[in-house]
Amino acid sequence: MQYKNRYLYYSILPCLLFLIAIGVYVSGYNPPTQNPPLGNLPAPINAGPNSQTKAGSLTIGGNLTTGSFTMAAGAGADKVLTTNASGVATWQTASGGSLWYASGTAAAFDNDIFIGGGLYVQGQRVICPAGQNGTDSYCNNVCTTFYVQTGTEGADSTEYCYNKTALTSGNCGAVGGCKASDYTNCDSQSNNTQQYACAQCKYINTTNCSANNVLGSCTNYDSATYCAYSGWDNGATNYHCSAGTCVCDSSGYTTTPDGKDNDCDGTVDETSCTPITTGCMCYLSTCATYCAQYTDCGCTAGTRYGSPTTSMCDTGTNGSRIINVGCAHANTSCGYGIKCSCGPNKYY
C-alpha cells in the first residue's frame, strides 16, 4: 500500500498538473486573423535611431523636448499656430496677411503679435505711414465721438446733442497713430448727426455730450422746477416738473385766490362770479341768501341802518320798520332797507 501511494504521487499527479496547464494556455490563446507574415503586433516605441509612426494619440505627462518640430495638418505659408480654450492647436491665417519683421524695422502695425527674439508678425498694414497730418482711411472715425450741445437749457426749452463730422483729411498723428478726437482737431468740424434731444423738464448736464467723448443722456429737472403746463406760461404755482414731464396738480377749488390753476385749464384763480353791490332795497332775508343766487358768489358785506348798523351777511330780518338814515327805503311796508355786496367765493 505504501508503494502504491508513492506511485500515485510521483507519476499520476504531475500528469494531471501538466494537462491543466495546457488547458489554461489553449483557452487564452487568440489565433492570428491573417496568414503569415501579416497580422503581427506593432513594434513598441523605443529609443532606437529608426523613424517610428504611432497611429493613435500619444500623451506625455512631462515636458517634450525636440530637435525640430513639424505640424503638418493645416500648415501653409504665413500661417500662425493658434490654440483654442482647451489648448488644441491649429494653423490659422494671420489677420491682415502676416508678414514677419524685426523689431525697429517697421512701425505701428495694427494687431501686431510679438513672437520673441525681437520679431513680430504683422497683423495689418502700417497706420499713417506718412506721419503727422497725413491722411489714412483707417482714421476716418476721428471726431465722430466728439460731442457738442446746442439749443437752450431750460425747463421749457430743448437742448440737442450732436456728434461732429468725421475728419477724413489730415487725420493722421505720428506714424502708426490717428489724431485724437479732441477740441483742437474737431471743434471746427460741422455738426453731423443728432444723437438725442432733451425737451421740457430735461436738460444735458456738463459731463454729458461733451468734448471728452462722453455721449451720456438727458437729466431730469427736480420736482420743484416750474414749467409751462401744456404751453401755458402763466406762473401757476401748481405747474412743475416730475420725472421729466410737466404736470399740473389739481385740487378742485379754493375759497380765496392762491395763485394756482386748480382746474388745470390754463387760467389762474379762475371764477365765474362778477362782483355786484345792490342799492338800497327791501329784502326780507340775509345777504348770504341773496348772493347765493349768483354762480360761485357769496356775500362779502351787507348792512342795514339800525342802532347800531348791523351786518347783514348772516343776520335775519328784525321784522320792524326802521327809518333808515343811511339806506332809506320808500316802501313803507318794508321793515328796513338793506344793501348787499356779493363777490367770488370759489376760485379754480
* All structural domains of the chain with their residue ranges: 92-126, 137-220, 222-267, 271-348
pLDDT at 252: 86
pLDDT at 49: 72
pLDDT at 96: 44
- Cut 0.85: pTM above it: no
- Average pLDDT over the chain reads 76
pLDDT at 160: 98
d(CA 177, CA 115): 22
Bridge partners of 281?
338
pLDDT at 101: 43
Environment class of 198 (CB within 10 Å of its CB; exposed 0-12, middle 13-18, buried 19+): buried
pLDDT at 151: 96
pLDDT at 44: 74
In order along its 348 residues, the chain shows pLDDT tens digits of: 555 555 555 666 667 677 776 665 556 556 667 777 766 667 677 767 777 777 777 777 766 666 666 665 767 765 667 766 666 777 776 554 444 444 444 444 445 555 555 555 555 567 888 889 999 988 999 999 999 999 999 999 999 999 999 999 999 998 888 999 999 999 999 999 999 999 999 999 999 998 888 999 999 999 999 999 999 999 999 999 999 999 999 988 999 999 999 999 999 999 999 998 876 666 556 677 778 889 999 888 776 544 344 555 654 443 333 333 345 555 555 545 667 788 999 999
Q: pLDDT per residue over 74-118, tens digit each?
A: 677 656 677 666 667 777 765 544 444 444 444 444 455 555 555
Q: pLDDT per residue over 272-285, tens digit each?
A: 999 988 766 665 56
Taking residue 152's Cβ as centre, other Cβ atoms within 10 Å add up to: 10
Cα angle for residues 211, 191, 171 (degrees, 5° grid):
70
**In 84-135, at which residue ranges do the beta strands (DSSP E only) sit?**
89-93, 100-102, 113-116, 119-121
> Is 93 strand, coil or helix?
strand
Environment class of 6 (CB within 10 Å of its CB; exposed 0-12, middle 13-18, buried 19+): exposed
pLDDT at 339: 72
pLDDT at 340: 77
